[in-house]
Amino acid sequence: MGLVGIVVVSHSRALADAAVALASEMLADRPVRVEIAAGLDDGSFGTDAAAIRDAIAAADDPAGVVVLMDLGSAVLSAELALELLDQQLAARVLLCPAPLVEGLVLAAVAAAGGASRADVAAEAVAALDGKVAQLAPSSPVAAPTGARAPSADQAELAQPDREVGLVDRADGQPEIGVFVVSNGHGLHARPAARLVRALAGLDAVVALRNLTRGGPSVPASSLSRVATLGAVQGHRVEVSASGPAALVAVGVVLELARRAFDEPTPASSPADASDVGGVLSSPRPAPASAWWALPASPGIAIGPARLVQTAPIVVPAGPAGDAPDERDLLADAVAQVRGTVRAERDRTARQTSADDAAIFETHLLLLDDPELLGDADHGIATGRSAARAYATAVQRTEDALADLDDPYLRARSVDVRAVGDQVLRQLVGAEEAVLPADGVLVAADLTPGQAVALDPARIEGIVLAGAGPTSHSAILARARGIPAVVGAGPGVLQLAEGTTVALDGSTGELHLDPPADVRETLNARRRAHRVSYARALAVARQPASTLDGVRVQVGVNGATPAEIAAGVTNGADSVGLVRTEFLFLDRDRAPDVDEQVAAYRALVDAAQGMRVTLRTLDVGGDKPLRYLPQPMESNPFLGVRGLRLALAEPGLLRDQLTAVVALAHESPVSVMFPMVSTLDELVRARTVLAEAIARVGSHSPTGLQVGVMVEVPALALNARAIVPYVDFLSIGTNDLAQYTLAAERGNEAVAALADPLDPAVLRLIQMVCQAAGARRLVAVCGELAADPVSAALLIGLGVRELSVSPAAVPLIKEAVRATSVGAVQPTVRAALDADGASAVRRLAASFAPPSS
């Protein structure tokens, strides 16, 4: 059975419209059918039985219809309408004597929660109870409970030590939590409706009690009863729950209360946001125990600190053996490490993605670096031991890189040290630090080897003193779903082993030895996150539309069949980005057409009929190909990468497009080109594509769509010129932010600058959407798309596909459903005019969906 339908009968069309708009505010995305029969055809006041009959028929559902009416003759007209109806339908209709406005709000919320026709009507009838209770002391109308509420002082005295958060309880007792109402207007209709909605469907009986004001417990499932709590700002409210989902229910309520029941705060409400930019960017108040680090991997972790102790490598000072023996020792050590690095690379490619595995490619190249090995060999020839000669060579290379002005090359010194240490450990027999477990890891940074060995079952979270959000440690923590913060500063390394550490990897919040209330708050937030994720997953396979009916596709980014299959399971509508690099890295020659067709077919099979978007090879100076040696570039991110490399090596692009076209004759496939700066490059790529089409068959595959990645500001600025040449545009916000802010995404010293929420980046996204208009789909496949808080902004700007990692799909669908394209426009405008990324982030947070 569906949801009870509602009919509003009023003398005034304007009154009915406004009442329905008010009630809709409480419904979020619940599709309750509310029909209006109000006013007369000539625009005057009055009610019309025939119109009411039609409205009832339109609202009809097997669950029944509840009719709410305003003044006297409205009731007569409604009764007459029943007589005009088919008898079976009339039997499902209940004329409800509730007050129109208050009754409609409560009836709508009850209907959205799946209440029966009688319960919907009962809720509506009780609609004045809240007002009566609120005004009871000075009102001639008796409070519905009959009992006079104790004074605030009396009530608090009765609960002297009730803390905020979850309260310990004995087995078999209800779960109990306490929260303080922070909403300016108290727990009024909108936040109360949010609370009732959030609990609907949970297998728990939940009650609320106002501890400050006193009074009886009321069922949290009834909006009318919640209103009788009279909970105003600052009041403490107890939530108690029993049943299988009791703990979850209390967690949900505490989490909602923490977020002020998702009511926009006055400072961040869309209407006035543009006036208060300065206020918006002020730092968030934090409890005394809080530090702020950089968010690196979402999720909340609480546990004892486990410090990673790295034993120093001591190179013995003793005499060296014969040079040939020392050379053999070094060659053996390098071979051993090569095997380990390859195994780590393969494991990463299997378990996370080929992109992440590229870190190890760099290490393999350094391991066999002829300069480094030649220097070590020279040391051995002059009588040094293998360990001493190699240590000296590594130190020299590291120093030379560290002295360079170029930050990219300077950062490579870390990789030289990581590789060098592995070989030296092998030579002198020193163990690499074994990662401690069963707590929160605290370290300066992790080597790629340590990061790849992270076990989510045993490591609650990670705190790194150094590193950036796009460092290998952060990427691998994200891939394993371990909450992490980075860049916390050296102070964290002074922590005593076992100190409780709590962190929120989505916000960068970090607490060292937090007090009980902070722990409880974070615990409740963690439980609520889990519950929210489970709920989002439950409906993730349904298509997602905004509240005002705009369909938004949620795609999955992947490089392996396993990732794409995970996307299917999690409800993806499409595969928005396949990074085809996985097939080209780590080998001695490029894959031929047949091998590519087979590999892409495996991806298409995993997609189970969904459209698959293959991005042509995106490698270059930062991701080198062994079989395509390139001259050293001092700025590889501005050098020959992406489509530039493909056009410089036409054989590579020709083979890849031939494979794509062959597959497109079998399945719905899209192809897109990365790192395009000019129309000329795009036209040249399309020429190679046209040749591939002619080579494969007599006609273009009907389902083949051709797109371009917008990653270079010039392309966004020239989007109007590009649009006629493509079927779709996919914005790579990772690169677009890096190039717009001139801040390399992998360089931890400037990575925070490359913020995709910077208004400059948003303006470029807006330009692309405006240029594309309704004719071309605009997607976002960069990391920004996976941020539920930013989703509404992107949708408001005109983006209609968000492509994200498999785990993020359910949350982004939920974010889509919580967005209204129309309602976010003031916030979008304010964001475009904001003075920086943090101001934008605050604006975006005002419409954060439930799980974020």
The residues that touch Mg ion, with contacts defined as CB under 5 A, are 711, 732, 735
How far apart CA 152 and CA 236 sit, in angstroms, is 10
CB of 470 or CB of 546, closer to ligand PEP: 470
Distance of CA 650 to the CA centre of its chain: 38
Site for ligand PEP contains 781 (CB under 6 A): yes
Q: What are phi and psi of 675, to 5 degrees?
A: 55, 50
CB of 195 or CB of 354, closer to ligand PEP: 354
Question: Which one among 24, 336, 523, 734 touches ligand PEP, defined by CB under 6 A?
Answer: 734
CB of 541 or CB of 644, closer to Mg ion: 644
CB of 492 or CB of 767, closer to ligand PEP: 767
Q: Which stretch binds ligand PEP (CB under 6 A): 25-33, 288-296, 490-498, 727-735?
A: 727-735
How far apart CA 205 and CA 239 sit, in angstroms, is 10
Structure tokens at 505: 């990897």
- Least distance between ligand PEP and beta carbon 478 (Å): 13
Question: Which one among 240, 733, 740, 766 touches ligand PEP, defined by CB under 6 A?
Answer: 733
- Least distance between ligand PEP and beta carbon 783 (Å): 7
- Least distance between Mg ion and beta carbon 785 (Å): 13
CA-wise closest residue to 302 among 144, 153, 166: 166
Please check whether residue 642 is in contact with residue 618, taking contact to mean a CB–CB distance below 8 angstroms.
Answer: yes
Instruction: Return the DSSP state at 251.
Output: H
- Least distance between ligand PEP and beta carbon 127 (Å): 50
Question: Which one among 264, 591, 732, 849 touches ligand PEP, defined by CB under 6 A?
Answer: 732
Q: Token match 């034993």: residue?
A: 311
CA-wise closest residue to 210 among 166, 260, 169, 152: 152
Site for ligand PEP contains 764 (CB under 6 A): no
- Least distance between ligand PEP and beta carbon 577 (Å): 6
CB of 353 or CB of 667, closer to ligand PEP: 353
CB of 514 or CB of 558, closer to ligand PEP: 558
Q: Which stretch binds ligand PEP (CB under 6 A): 378-386, 461-469, 535-543, 732-740?
A: 732-740
Question: Which one among 213, 417, 579, 641 touches ligand PEP, defined by CB under 6 A?
Answer: 579
CA-wise closest residue to 685 among 656, 721, 714, 724: 656
Please check whether residue 38 is in contact with residue 47, taking contact to mean a CB–CB distance below 8 angstroms.
Answer: yes
Q: Which stretch binds ligand PEP (CB under 6 A): 297-305, 479-487, 602-610, 726-734?
A: 726-734
CA-wise closest residue to 422 among 413, 408, 433, 412: 433
The CA-based dihedral angle spanning residues 614, 617, 618, 620, taken in that order and rounded to the nearest 10 degrees: 180
- Least distance between ligand PEP and beta carbon 733 (Å): 5
How far apart CA 624 and CA 631 sit, in angstroms, is 10
- Least distance between Mg ion and beta carbon 736 (Å): 8
**Most distant CA pair in the chain, distance:** 111
How far apart CA 61 and CA 50 sit, in angstroms, is 19
- Least distance between ligand PEP and beta carbon 359 (Å): 14
- Least distance between ligand PEP and beta carbon 736 (Å): 7
Residues 6+ apart with CB under 8 A from 241: 174, 175, 176, 204, 205, 206, 207, 247, 249, 250
Task: Count Cα neighbours of 795 within 13 Å in the Cβ-side half-sphere.
Answer: 35
Name the binder of 466 from ligand PEP, Mg ion, none, CB < 5-8 A by kind.
none
CA angle 615, 621, 624 (to 5 degrees): 75
What DSSP element (H or E) covers 240? strand 236-242
- Least distance between Mg ion and beta carbon 802 (Å): 16
CB of 5 or CB of 732, closer to ligand PEP: 732
The footprint of ligand PEP on this chain (CB under 6 A) covers a number of residues equal to: 10
- Over the window 672 to 711, marking each residue x when it contacts ligand PEP by CB under 6 A and - when it does not, the resulting string is ---------------------------------------x
CB of 732 or CB of 759, closer to ligand PEP: 732
The CA-based dihedral angle spanning residues 280, 282, 286, 290, taken in that order and rounded to the nearest 10 degrees: 120
CB of 502 or CB of 731, closer to ligand PEP: 731
Q: Which stretch binds ligand PEP (CB under 6 A): 108-116, 376-384, 599-607, 729-737?
A: 729-737
Q: Which stretch binds ligand PEP (CB under 6 A): 174-182, 378-386, 730-738, 816-824?
A: 730-738
Active site residues: 472, 781
Instruction: State which of positions 617-646 bind ligand PEP (CB under 6 A).
Output: 618
Name the binder of 413 from Mg ion, ligand PEP, none, CB < 5-8 A by kind.
none
Distance of CA 316 to the CA centre of its chain: 50
CB of 375 or CB of 633, closer to ligand PEP: 633
What DSSP element (H or E) covers 165? strand 165-167
CB of 210 or CB of 733, closer to ligand PEP: 733
Q: What are phi and psi of 669, to 5 degrees?
A: -130, 140
Cα distances (angstroms) measured from residue 763 to each of 26, 127, 636, 717, 770:
32, 46, 26, 10, 10
Site for ligand PEP contains 782 (CB under 6 A): yes
- Least distance between ligand PEP and beta carbon 674 (Å): 7
Q: What are phi and psi of 4, to 5 degrees?
A: -60, 135
Distance of CA 51 to the CA centre of its chain: 46
- Least distance between Mg ion and beta carbon 473 (Å): 21
Name the binder of 781 from Mg ion, ligand PEP, none, CB < 5-8 A by kind.
ligand PEP
Site for ligand PEP contains 507 (CB under 6 A): no
CA-wise closest residue to 172 among 264, 69, 242: 242
Cβ neighbour number for residue 814 with a 10 Å cutoff = 26
Distance of CA 738 to the CA centre of its chain: 20
Please check whether residue 107 is in contact with residue 63, taking contact to mean a CB–CB distance below 8 angstroms.
Answer: no
How far apart CA 432 and CA 410 sit, in angstroms, is 24
How far apart CA 158 and CA 346 sit, in angstroms, is 63
In the chain, count H helices and then E strands: 33, 25
Question: Which one among 735, 787, 801, 814 touches ligand PEP, defined by CB under 6 A?
Answer: 735
Name the binder of 782 from ligand PEP, Mg ion, none, CB < 5-8 A by kind.
ligand PEP
Identity of the amino acid at 788: P
CB of 661 or CB of 761, closer to ligand PEP: 761
How far apart CA 717 and CA 698 sit, in angstroms, is 36
CB of 35 or CB of 563, closer to Mg ion: 563
Cβ neighbour number for residue 693 with a 10 Å cutoff = 20
How far apart CA 316 and CA 332 sit, in angstroms, is 18
Name the binder of 326 from Mg ion, ligand PEP, none, CB < 5-8 A by kind.
none
Name the binder of 755 from ligand PEP, Mg ion, none, CB < 5-8 A by kind.
none
Name the binder of 733 from ligand PEP, Mg ion, none, CB < 5-8 A by kind.
ligand PEP
How far apart CA 410 and CA 747 sit, in angstroms, is 10
- Least distance between ligand PEP and beta carbon 125 (Å): 54
Burial class (CB in 10 A: 0-12, 13-18, 19+), 633: middle
Q: Which stretch binds ligand PEP (CB under 6 A): 427-435, 592-600, 731-739, 787-795?
A: 731-739
Q: Which residues bind ligand PEP (CB under 6 A)?
A: 577, 579, 618, 711, 732-735, 781-782
